[in-house]
């Protein structure tokens, strides 16, 4: 028989899943652009025309394409040129990322924690996951653009808990304060639902590919055996790596930091066919990407 504790968890999960069902869907333009990009008979001009119908999205795309992250040399002012420069695969994910951010912006009415810090972490993980995607078997295991989206979304369940299970959120914050535990352990200690599970439910509600939902669901556990295994590994590594970078202080660096410490789990590195040298390169690539422009601002504004 189910324990009262597991019954109450089930009830909470049902409640939050109901809330998730009432959340806004992603704009239709995401499905439309995805279908056009996947259709080999559609030219880039046609895709650009669809994007141009949404001025806010067009503006965001131009800012992204002109940011140092995409490394375009001359200022790009037309959607068609922007689309031609980045190509269909990148474009599809840019539209998805911009739409996800826009949809989530409309949700965050309650502010129980620092949202700027939240997005800084999410965007950093997105960049790291993309770089990991490029390094893992030279980009053959993972689509780096999809890895960026998975990194961006991995912690989105925290926003849902904050908005719809606010009492739980406050309880989790109290456990973090009292016991100094990371969020994922504090939510377990407080008997709350995991942000990973809730985030995956949101990804499913938005009709995102299964491997993206899995990357969100498993980012604090072991990767799944099948769909999205490598993508999940990339997000697990990106998340750990960013926390490690954040905790690494200059003093620690000189005296006690173990250069091997960012390696989360040798199994993950093995799955991704990455070496310790790749991790050293990852840190340098990440720092130079983040220094080259205020990516957090471009993405989160
Ligand atoms: Fe997380
Ligand atoms: Fe995270």
Q: Which of 65-74, 199-208, 285-294 has the lowest mean pLDDT?
A: 65-74
pLDDT digits (tens, 9 = 90+) for 87-115: 888 888 888 888 888 787 777 678 899 98
Read off the pLDDT band of 256 (50, 70, 90).
Answer: very low
- Distance between Cα 151 and ligand 2 center (Å): 8
pLDDT digits (tens, 9 = 90+) for 38-51: 888 988 889 899 98
Read off the pLDDT band of 231 (50, 70, 90).
Answer: very high
Cα–Cα distance measured from residue 275 to residue 266, given in angstroms and rounded to the nearest whole number: 10
State the Rg of the chain over Cα. 20
Structure tokens at 159: 């926003």
Residue 73 has pLDDT above 60, yes or no: yes
Does pTM top 0.95 for this prediction?
no
Ligand nearest to the CA of 129: 2
The pLDDT of 213-232, averaged and rounded, is 91
The superfamily in CATH containing domain 4-23+111-300 is Hypothetical protein af1432 (1.10.3210.10)
pLDDT digits (tens, 9 = 90+) for 186-217: 999 998 889 999 999 889 888 888 999 999 99
Structure tokens at 259: 């250069």
Ligand nearest to the CA of 243: 2
- Distances in whole angstroms, Cα of residue 245 to Cα of each of 125, 253, 285: 11, 10, 13
- Distance between Cα 239 and ligand 1 center (Å): 7
Cα–Cα distance measured from residue 136 to residue 128, given in angstroms and rounded to the nearest whole number: 12
- Provide, rounded to the nearest whole percent, the portion of the chain with pLDDT above 90: 35
Average pLDDT, the chain: 84
């Amino acid at each position: 028989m189910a324990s009262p504790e597991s019954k109450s968890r089930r009830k909470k999960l049902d409640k939050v899943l109901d809330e998730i069902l009432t959340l806004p869907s992603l704009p239709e333009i995401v499905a439309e652009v995805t279908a056009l990009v996947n259709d080999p008979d559609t030219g880039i001009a046609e895709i650009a025309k669809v994007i141009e119908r949404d001025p806010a999205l067009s503006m965001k795309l131009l800012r992204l394409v002109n940011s140092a992250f995409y490394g375009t040399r001359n200022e790009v002012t037309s959607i068609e040129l922007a689309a031609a420069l980045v190509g269909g695969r990148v474009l599809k994910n840019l539209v998805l990322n911009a739409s996800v951010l826009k949809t989530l912006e409309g949700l965050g009415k309650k502010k129980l924690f620092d949202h700027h810090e939240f997005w800084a972490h999410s965007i950093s993980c997105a960049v790291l996951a993309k770089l990991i995607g490029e390094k893992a078997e030279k980009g053959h295991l993972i689509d780096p653009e999809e890895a960026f989206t998975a990194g961006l979304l991995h912690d989105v369940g925290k926003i849902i808990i904050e908005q719809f299970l606010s009492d739980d959120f406050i309880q989790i914050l109290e456990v973090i304060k009292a016991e100094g535990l990371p969020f994922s352990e504090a939510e377990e200690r407080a008997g709350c639902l995991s942000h990973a599970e809730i985030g995956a439910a949101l990804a499913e509600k938005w009709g995102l590919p299964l491997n993206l939902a899995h990357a969100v669901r498993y980012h604090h556990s072991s990767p799944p055996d099948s769909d999205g295994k490598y993508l999940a590994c990339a997000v697990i590594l990106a998340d750990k790596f960013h926390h490690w970078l954040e905790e690494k202080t200059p003093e620690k660096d000189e005296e006690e930091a173990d250069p091997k410490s960012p390696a989360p789990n040798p199994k993950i590195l093995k799955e991704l066919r990455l070496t310790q040298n790749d991790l050293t390169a990852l840190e340098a690539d990440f720092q130079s990407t983040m220094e080259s422009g205020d990516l957090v601002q471009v993405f989160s504004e």
